[in-house]
Amino acid sequence: MIQDFTGLCNDLDWHSTAFRHYTPTRTLTPRGGGLGAGVRHRAFGIMALLGLLCLDMLGCSKEPTHTLQGVASWYGYPHHGRLTASGRRYNMFELTAAHRTLPLGTRLRVTNLSNGRAVTVTITDRGPFVKRRVIDLSYAAAREIGMIGPGTAPVQLEILE
């Protein structure tokens, strides 16, 4: 419901002594009045800097935002050179990975829970298509964390960005 507040100020005495002796000290100009553009830009820059500092203090940094554990596998030569879901050609010597649901371009830290070795990869493809597996790593990423021989390994995924 919208209310009409036009009659609320009718009882004020606009000619009281507080307003009778008021003389404006500055006249407003139609254009260019107020603070200059340089002052406004500096004020905005200071406010932006303060905002970033507050975000940093609140813990909004590049630390992992989410973790997941499961079994990882790797894929290599048969897929080398084929198009991935991201539209790029799969290169088994790059640090990339395939995940079912994470957005393409997401960066992850993958840690092999058997030996503690870790690698940072970028999601460029969809998969794995085997049940109970959480990620498919490229040959290079699997080699970095020492899972080429066994073929699979228990891993922890940390989403970086």
User: All domains of the chain, ordered by start, with CATH?
Assistant: 66-159 (2.40.40.10)
Per-residue confidence (pLDDT) for residue 96, from 0 to 100? 96
Q: In whole angstroms, what is the distance from residue 160 CA to residue 87 CA?
A: 22
Per-residue confidence (pLDDT) for residue 77, from 0 to 100? 86
Give the dihedral of Cα atoms 8, 10, 16, 20; nearest 10 deg: 100
Q: How many CB atoms lie within 10 A of CB 106?
A: 17
The answer, yes or no, to whether residue 148 has pLDDT greater than 90, is yes
Per-residue confidence (pLDDT) for residue 161, from 0 to 100? 79
Per-residue confidence (pLDDT) for residue 47, from 0 to 100? 72
Per-residue pLDDT tens digits for 109-145: 999 999 999 999 999 999 998 989 999 999 999 999 9
74 — alpha (psi -120 to 50), left (phi > 0) or beta? beta
CB 73 within 8 Å of CB 81: no
Per-residue pLDDT tens digits for 72-116: 999 988 899 999 999 999 999 999 999 999 999 999 999 999 999
Q: How confident is the model at residue 155 (pLDDT cuts 50, 70, 90)?
A: very high
State if pTM tops 0.85: no
Q: In whole angstroms, what is the distance from residue 98 CA to residue 138 CA?
A: 8
Per-residue pLDDT tens digits for 33-81: 555 555 556 666 677 667 666 556 555 444 556 889 999 999 988 899 9
The answer, yes or no, to whether residue 19 has pLDDT greater than 90, is no
Per-residue confidence (pLDDT) for residue 147, from 0 to 100? 94
